[in-house]
Structure 1
Amino acid sequence: MSTRVAKPKTGRPRGAGSFDSEVATVVGDVIRKNRLAAGISQETLADMANVGRSYCGSVERGESQPTLFVVLKMAAALEIEGHTLVRQVEHALARRRFKGATKPKRS
Protein backbone atom coordinates (compact mmCIF):
# COMPACT_ATOMS: atom_id res chain seq x y z
CA MET A 1 0.00 0.00 0.00
CA SER A 2 1.50 3.33 -1.02
CA THR A 3 0.82 6.46 0.92
CA ARG A 4 0.72 9.70 -1.01
CA VAL A 5 1.88 12.82 0.69
CA ALA A 6 -0.18 15.86 -0.22
CA LYS A 7 1.76 18.60 -1.94
CA PRO A 8 1.71 21.75 0.20
CA LYS A 9 -0.40 24.57 -1.17
CA THR A 10 1.40 27.71 -2.23
CA GLY A 11 0.28 31.28 -1.96
CA ARG A 12 -1.89 33.07 0.51
CA PRO A 13 -4.55 31.07 2.36
CA ARG A 14 -8.14 31.76 1.35
CA GLY A 15 -9.49 34.75 3.24
CA ALA A 16 -6.07 36.03 4.30
CA GLY A 17 -6.07 39.79 4.63
CA SER A 18 -2.41 40.63 4.24
CA PHE A 19 -2.83 42.71 1.07
CA ASP A 20 -2.30 46.42 1.71
CA SER A 21 -3.35 48.46 -1.31
CA GLU A 22 -1.51 51.60 -0.16
CA VAL A 23 1.78 49.74 0.21
CA ALA A 24 1.24 47.88 -3.07
CA THR A 25 0.60 51.17 -4.88
CA VAL A 26 3.71 52.83 -3.43
CA VAL A 27 5.92 49.80 -4.19
CA GLY A 28 4.65 49.87 -7.78
CA ASP A 29 5.24 53.61 -8.11
CA VAL A 30 8.80 53.31 -6.80
CA ILE A 31 9.62 50.38 -9.08
CA ARG A 32 8.14 52.20 -12.10
CA LYS A 33 10.10 55.39 -11.27
CA ASN A 34 13.36 53.42 -11.05
CA ARG A 35 12.58 51.47 -14.23
CA LEU A 36 11.90 54.64 -16.19
CA ALA A 37 15.05 56.29 -14.76
CA ALA A 38 17.02 53.25 -15.95
CA GLY A 39 15.46 53.63 -19.40
CA ILE A 40 14.21 50.05 -19.64
CA SER A 41 10.85 48.64 -20.64
CA GLN A 42 8.56 46.68 -18.39
CA GLU A 43 9.24 43.60 -20.48
CA THR A 44 13.01 44.01 -20.10
CA LEU A 45 12.68 44.46 -16.34
CA ALA A 46 10.52 41.34 -16.13
CA ASP A 47 13.05 39.33 -18.14
CA MET A 48 15.99 40.57 -16.09
CA ALA A 49 14.18 39.89 -12.79
CA ASN A 50 12.91 36.52 -14.04
CA VAL A 51 9.25 37.35 -13.38
CA GLY A 52 6.33 37.40 -15.79
CA ARG A 53 5.75 40.57 -17.78
CA SER A 54 2.08 40.72 -16.82
CA TYR A 55 3.02 40.22 -13.15
CA CYS A 56 5.56 43.04 -13.43
CA GLY A 57 2.81 45.29 -14.81
CA SER A 58 0.47 44.19 -12.04
CA VAL A 59 3.09 45.12 -9.43
CA GLU A 60 3.66 48.54 -11.03
CA ARG A 61 -0.09 49.22 -11.07
CA GLY A 62 -0.37 48.27 -7.38
CA GLU A 63 -2.62 45.31 -8.12
CA SER A 64 -0.15 42.80 -6.70
CA GLN A 65 1.94 43.04 -3.56
CA PRO A 66 5.29 41.41 -4.33
CA THR A 67 7.18 39.28 -1.86
CA LEU A 68 10.53 40.44 -0.54
CA PHE A 69 12.19 37.93 -2.87
CA VAL A 70 10.54 39.54 -5.92
CA VAL A 71 11.42 43.04 -4.68
CA LEU A 72 15.06 41.98 -4.34
CA LYS A 73 15.06 40.42 -7.83
CA MET A 74 13.61 43.61 -9.31
CA ALA A 75 16.14 45.76 -7.42
CA ALA A 76 18.98 43.64 -8.79
CA ALA A 77 17.55 43.95 -12.30
CA LEU A 78 17.41 47.73 -11.82
CA GLU A 79 21.02 47.62 -10.63
CA ILE A 80 20.24 49.09 -7.23
CA GLU A 81 20.62 47.49 -3.82
CA GLY A 82 17.54 45.96 -2.26
CA HIS A 83 17.75 48.11 0.85
CA THR A 84 17.83 51.21 -1.33
CA LEU A 85 14.59 50.21 -3.04
CA VAL A 86 12.96 49.38 0.30
CA ARG A 87 14.13 52.71 1.76
CA GLN A 88 12.62 54.55 -1.22
CA VAL A 89 9.32 52.78 -0.52
CA GLU A 90 9.52 53.73 3.18
CA HIS A 91 10.17 57.39 2.35
CA ALA A 92 7.38 57.47 -0.24
CA LEU A 93 4.96 55.94 2.28
CA ALA A 94 5.96 58.47 4.94
CA ARG A 95 5.51 61.38 2.52
CA ARG A 96 2.14 60.01 1.44
CA ARG A 97 0.88 59.37 4.97
CA PHE A 98 2.04 62.67 6.44
CA LYS A 99 1.20 64.83 3.43
CA GLY A 100 -2.36 65.33 4.60
CA ALA A 101 -1.50 65.61 8.30
CA THR A 102 -2.01 69.05 9.73
CA LYS A 103 0.51 70.67 12.01
CA PRO A 104 -0.56 70.97 15.62
CA LYS A 105 -1.78 74.43 16.59
CA ARG A 106 0.36 76.40 19.00
CA SER A 107 -1.33 77.78 22.08
Structure 2
Amino acid sequence: MPTSKSRATSFEPLVARAFGETVRALRVEQGDAQDAFALKANVDRSYYGKLERGERQPSLALLLRISTQLGISGSTLVQHTEVTLRRLKRSAR
Protein backbone atom coordinates (compact mmCIF):
# COMPACT_ATOMS: atom_id res chain seq x y z
CA MET A 1 0.00 0.00 0.00
CA PRO A 2 1.46 3.40 -0.93
CA THR A 3 2.46 5.64 1.92
CA SER A 4 1.34 9.23 2.12
CA LYS A 5 4.86 10.29 1.09
CA SER A 6 4.92 8.30 -2.15
CA ARG A 7 3.90 10.06 -5.33
CA ALA A 8 2.83 8.67 -8.64
CA THR A 9 4.78 9.90 -11.61
CA SER A 10 4.33 9.53 -15.32
CA PHE A 11 7.98 10.29 -16.11
CA GLU A 12 9.70 7.30 -17.67
CA PRO A 13 13.45 8.02 -17.95
CA LEU A 14 14.17 5.40 -20.61
CA VAL A 15 11.21 6.51 -22.73
CA ALA A 16 12.30 10.14 -22.41
CA ARG A 17 15.84 9.19 -23.45
CA ALA A 18 14.53 7.20 -26.44
CA PHE A 19 12.38 10.12 -27.56
CA GLY A 20 15.27 12.54 -27.18
CA GLU A 21 17.71 10.38 -29.13
CA THR A 22 15.12 9.87 -31.85
CA VAL A 23 14.24 13.51 -32.38
CA ARG A 24 17.89 14.52 -32.23
CA ALA A 25 18.82 12.01 -34.94
CA LEU A 26 15.91 13.07 -37.15
CA ARG A 27 16.65 16.76 -36.64
CA VAL A 28 20.33 16.30 -37.50
CA GLU A 29 19.38 14.22 -40.54
CA GLN A 30 17.19 17.14 -41.61
CA GLY A 31 20.18 19.48 -41.24
CA ASP A 32 18.72 21.79 -38.58
CA ALA A 33 20.60 23.24 -35.64
CA GLN A 34 18.85 22.66 -32.32
CA ASP A 35 17.96 26.30 -31.71
CA ALA A 36 16.67 26.83 -35.25
CA PHE A 37 14.55 23.69 -35.05
CA ALA A 38 13.08 24.69 -31.69
CA LEU A 39 12.15 28.08 -33.11
CA LYS A 40 10.48 26.54 -36.19
CA ALA A 41 8.58 24.06 -33.99
CA ASN A 42 7.54 26.88 -31.62
CA VAL A 43 9.22 25.25 -28.62
CA ASP A 44 11.29 27.08 -26.02
CA ARG A 45 14.94 26.41 -26.95
CA SER A 46 15.92 25.43 -23.41
CA TYR A 47 12.96 23.08 -23.04
CA TYR A 48 13.67 21.51 -26.43
CA GLY A 49 17.25 20.86 -25.33
CA LYS A 50 15.92 19.08 -22.25
CA LEU A 51 13.69 16.96 -24.48
CA GLU A 52 16.65 15.90 -26.61
CA ARG A 53 18.70 15.08 -23.50
CA GLY A 54 15.88 12.91 -22.14
CA GLU A 55 15.24 15.17 -19.17
CA ARG A 56 11.63 15.87 -20.16
CA GLN A 57 8.79 14.05 -21.91
CA PRO A 58 6.63 15.88 -24.43
CA SER A 59 2.89 16.38 -24.21
CA LEU A 60 0.88 14.98 -27.10
CA ALA A 61 0.48 18.48 -28.56
CA LEU A 62 4.23 19.05 -28.44
CA LEU A 63 4.97 15.64 -29.95
CA LEU A 64 2.68 16.53 -32.85
CA ARG A 65 4.33 19.94 -33.35
CA ILE A 66 7.76 18.32 -33.41
CA SER A 67 6.66 15.58 -35.80
CA THR A 68 5.10 18.17 -38.12
CA GLN A 69 8.36 20.13 -38.18
CA LEU A 70 10.23 16.89 -38.93
CA GLY A 71 7.85 16.27 -41.83
CA ILE A 72 6.50 13.01 -40.43
CA SER A 73 3.30 11.96 -38.69
CA GLY A 74 3.03 11.70 -34.95
CA SER A 75 2.55 7.95 -35.27
CA THR A 76 5.74 7.63 -37.31
CA LEU A 77 7.65 9.57 -34.65
CA VAL A 78 6.27 7.24 -31.98
CA GLN A 79 7.27 4.20 -34.07
CA HIS A 80 10.83 5.53 -34.43
CA THR A 81 10.91 6.17 -30.68
CA GLU A 82 9.77 2.60 -29.98
CA VAL A 83 12.62 1.25 -32.12
CA THR A 84 15.10 3.38 -30.16
CA LEU A 85 13.52 2.26 -26.89
CA ARG A 86 13.93 -1.42 -27.79
CA ARG A 87 17.59 -0.79 -28.64
CA LEU A 88 18.17 0.99 -25.33
CA LYS A 89 16.49 -1.82 -23.38
CA ARG A 90 18.66 -4.44 -25.12
CA SER A 91 21.84 -2.51 -24.41
CA ALA A 92 20.86 -2.08 -20.75
CA ARG A 93 20.86 -5.83 -20.15
- TM-score, normalization by structure 2: 0.85
Structure 1 unaligned residues grouped into runs of 5+: 1-14, 102-107
2:17 matches 1:45: no
Q: Which has the larger radius of gyration?
A: 1
- TM-score, normalization by structure 1: 0.74
Given residue 69 of structure 1, which amino acid in structure 2 is its aligned partner?
A: A
Question: Which is richer in helix?
Answer: 2
CA RMSD of aligned residues (A): 1.4
Q: Which has the higher contact order (CA 8 A, sep 6+)?
A: 2
1:11-90 correspondence to structure 2 within 5 Å: 15-90=7-82
Give the SS at the match of 1:24: helix
- Distance apart, 1:48 and its partner CA: 1.3
Structure 2 unaligned residues grouped into runs of 5+: 1-6
Identical amino acids, percent of aligned pairs: 40
Q: Which residue of 2 aligns with 1:104?
A: none
Aligned length: 87
